[in-house]
Amino acid sequence: MSERDADVLAVERRGWSGPGAKERAIRERLGISPTRYYQLLNALLDDPHALAHDPVTVNRLRRRRESRRARR
């Protein structure tokens, strides 16, 4: 797993206080757009290396993704 992938998971692991704070952190810390961030994050949810690196965050996000899919 790359350093950038680990950083994406680290951003997602953190709690965010106000609107726009997460998007600002994505741009400042990772140097990418929020759209690209969510593309990378979604791909990480299917990566076994990401699951091994941070199982709590990955499993939480997988459950959230499945819940959204079920509502559609």
Please tell me the predicted confidence (pLDDT) of residue 46. Answer: 97
For 2-45, write each residue's pLDDT tens digit.
999 999 999 999 988 877 999 999 999 999 999 999 999 999 99
- One-character DSSP codes across 6-48: HHHHHHHHS---STTHHHHHIIIII-S-HHHHHHHHHHHTT-H
**Average pLDDT of 41-66?**
96
Q: Closest Cα to residue 9, out of 48, 55, 68, 67? A: 55
Measured CA to CA, the distance from residue 63 to residue 66 in angstroms comes to 5
Please tell me the predicted confidence (pLDDT) of residue 19. Answer: 79
Please tell me the predicted confidence (pLDDT) of residue 22. Answer: 93
Please tell me the predicted confidence (pLDDT) of residue 57. Answer: 96
